[in-house]
Amino acid sequence: MPYEMLLTERRDKVALVTLNRADKRNALSIALRDEIDQCLQELETDDAVSAVVITGAGPVFCAGFDRNEFFVREPAHLEALMESTDRFHLRLINFPKPMVAAINGSAMGGGLDLAVLCDVRVAAENATFAHPEIKFGAPTLYGPLAETIGGGLARDLCLTGRRIDAQEALRIGLVSGVVPLDRLLDEAMAVATAITEAPLVALKTVKGMIIDRYCWRYVSGEDIFAGLQPPAS
């Protein structure tokens, strides 16, 4: 189906999904999260697709959740915010096919979560990573990051909110490769294409083991964003 905030393309057995909200630094609004959820739901049932590559339009991979939406206090909006958040994370966590993140710039907050919830990450040389939301009172998503880089380093990044560059991300195992920006998509597609050389049934079996390995529960509070401070005007 057509999307307003996503670009989709099929390349043989690989689906390329591009966050297309560049004017907002690809911030994860409710609408964008819902489109990602719908898109992955469709790709999950498409047996012609064996792997997915996710990237961002413009100079930023994803700036995180759209903070402006956190300060609308109407009950219906808050319910939609929380429901969309849960569904978005759970769709990514439980997606049964391999996902490759092509990180073309900053991956902040929920954007870092999006990258971490992919199975393989390739970064451009200019990419940066951080969980700045901790400074605004939003809990960070610790479990998948700890599974990827280890508990000690994950605690450091989740609790301090400090920013790391692509080379440090490579050193700690957050990404598996760092390439010039103009080669990023080709490299990510090459990784995804190599993955699709295996039968889909085998890939889905391994993904099932990866999902089981998380051994953690995504739990949202009644109003997890209550302590956030509004963005500077």
- The mean predicted confidence, pLDDT, of the chain is 90
Residue 208 pLDDT > 50, yes or no? yes
Confidence label for 133 from pLDDT (cuts 50, 70 and 90): very high
210: left (phi over 0), alpha (psi -120 to 50) or beta: alpha
Residue 51 pLDDT > 80, yes or no? yes
Distance CA 29, CA 35 (A): 10
pTM recorded for the entire structure: 0.91
Q: What confidence score (pLDDT) does residue 221 get?
A: 39
Q: What confidence score (pLDDT) does residue 214 get?
A: 65
Higher-pLDDT residue of 38, 83: 38
Mean of the pLDDT values across residues 24-48? Answer: 97
- By mean pLDDT, which of 11-15, 66-70, 92-96, 143-147 is the weakest? 66-70
Q: Nearest Cα to 184, choosing from 117, 111, 101? A: 101
Q: What confidence score (pLDDT) does residue 206 get?
A: 97
Strand order in the sheet with 107-108: 107-108, 128-130, 164-165
Residue 194 pLDDT > 70, yes or no? yes
Residue 230 pLDDT > 80, yes or no? no
Q: What confidence score (pLDDT) does residue 71 get?
A: 67
Q: Which domains, from first to last, does the chain contain?
A: 6-214 (3.90.226.10)
Mean of the pLDDT values across residues 150-155? Answer: 96
Q: What confidence score (pLDDT) does residue 81 get?
A: 77
Mean of the pLDDT values across residues 218-232? Answer: 44
